[in-house]
Amino acid sequence: MIKKELGPIGIFDSGFGGLSILKAITKELPNYDYIYLGDNARTPYGNRSPEIIYEFTRQAVDFLFKNNCQLIILACNTASSDALRKIQQEYLPQYYPSKKVLGVLIPGAEAAVAKTKNKKIGVMATEGTVTSGSFVREIKKLDSTIKVFQQSCPLLVPLIEAGEKNNPATKIILEQYIKPLKQKKIDTVILGCTHYGLVEEQIKKIFGDKVKVISEGKEVAKKLKIYLVKHPEIETTLTKKSKLSFYSTDTTAKFQTLGSKFFGQKIRVEKVNLN
Ligand code: DGL
């Protein structure tokens, strides 16, 4: 009998943001082993070209598979928007036919479609994600009659990473981004960026209680749980010792402090080189 290769779940993000997704996943699925990789040396991805985002994401996928991961979650909306499809359709079949890479867009899109009553959904995301139109595509696949209004929020990631989420300037900027979505009378909004969950309370306050706010961490975790039940061929290849390992492409000091904020507990991180 051929022995199965076993390993952890890989979680990839352009930087710290994906730690908020990992946090939600480990809460829902605490028994598995996880390797987190943040490409902090080259973050943010949000305003880069699709070609570069694909290339960086492909390198990250190689790193995680070489470290035995059996399944990878691209816990970055920009990478999920600009690289996931090509990785699934072209790269995996050629180089890793038995492994899987999943993104974070579909769980958020499905949750929003299930929640909206007036069929008007807003998406707040990075410029890369908005330009790719990926959320619009995923929502329309589920219900073509829904109207989707996108808002890119380029200042949010730098503000949050600078630890300025409670700065009054952040509130003013959020109000500016949210105003056009309010004018479109959306009743549901997807926070389509790993970082925006950290300002979820501020966003909820500005929208008021008529608008449902979909924060993707919880949705991704719920859908991953269902995916693993439906795919025993993947689930049985995953190791389950609740072990967490963290890697970053940049020096580790900032990752250690800021990373702990996103993850909610102290983490030890190791520096790696992807190219
Ligand atoms: N992780 C990215 C995302 O979810 C945000 C940070 C970046 O622009 O790299 O889109």
Please give the single-letter amino acid code of residue 26: T
Q: At 225, is the pLDDT very low, low, confident or very high (cuts 50, 70, 90)? A: very high
Give the pLDDT score at 71. 98
Q: Ligand 1: which residues within 6 Å by Cβ?
A: 13-15, 17, 43-46, 76-78, 126, 129, 157, 193-195
> How remote is the CA of residue 207 from the centroid of ligand 1, in Å?
22
Probe target for ligand 1 pocket from 193, 196, 216, with the most ligand atoms within 8 Å of CB: 193
Q: Which atom of ligand 1 is the closest one to the Cα of 44?
A: 9
Give the separation between CA 157 and CA 258, rounded to whole angstroms: 13
Phi, psi of 268 (to 5 degrees): -110, 130
Confidence of residue 81 (pLDDT cuts 50, 70, 90): very high
What does the pLDDT look like over 211-221, one tens digit per residue? 999 999 999 99
Instruction: Place 1 in a pLDDT band, splitting at 50, 70 and 90.
Output: low
Average pLDDT, the chain: 95
pLDDT at 112: 98
Instruction: Give the ligand 1 atom nearest the CA of 129.
Output: 10
Confidence at residue 123, expressed as pLDDT on a 0 to 100 scale: 98
Query: pLDDT grade, residue 163 (50/70/90)?
Result: confident
* 255 has a pLDDT exceeding 90: no
pLDDT of residue 136: 98
Q: Residue 2 has what pLDDT? A: 62
Above 90 in pLDDT, residue 262?
no
Ligand 1 closest atom vs CA 81:
10
Positions marked active-site: 76, 193
Q: Which amino acid is at 213?
A: V
* pLDDT over threshold 80, residue 40: yes
Give residue 190 CA to ligand 1 midpoint distance, Å. 14
| Mutate which of 78, 150, 199 for ligand 1 pocket (most atoms within 8 A of beta carbon) | 78
Residue-wise burial string across 131-168, b where 16 or more C-beta atoms lie within 10 A, e elsewhere:
bbebbbebbbeeeeebbbbbbbbeebbebbbeeebeee
Measured in angstroms, how far is the CA atom of residue 236 from the centroid of ligand 1? 31
What is the C-alpha to C-alpha distance for residues 6 and 3, in angstroms, rounded to an integer?
9
- Check whether the bond before 44 is cis (ω within 30° of 0): yes
Which residue's C-alpha comes closest to atom 8 of ligand 1? 46
- What is the CA(109)–ligand 1 centre distance, in A? 17
Q: What is the DSSP letter of 89?
A: I
Number of H-type helices and E-type strands within the chain: 14, 10
Other C-beta atoms closer than 10 Å to the C-beta of 11 total 27
| pLDDT at residue 4 in the model | 76
pLDDT tens-digit series, residues 54-69: 999 999 999 999 999 9
Contact yes or no for 115/213 (Cβ under 8 A): no
**DSSP label at residue 40:** G
- Average pLDDT of the segment spanning 250-265: 84
260: confidence class by pLDDT, cuts 50, 70, 90: confident
Look at residue 261 in the predicted model and tell me its pLDDT: 80
What distance in angstroms lies between residue 129's CA and the mean position of ligand 1's atoms?
9
Q: For residues 59 and 109, give the distance between their C-alpha atoms in angstroms, rounded to a whole number.
A: 27
Specify which residues 215 forms β-bridges with: 191
* pLDDT band per the 50, 70, 90 thresholds, residue 275: confident
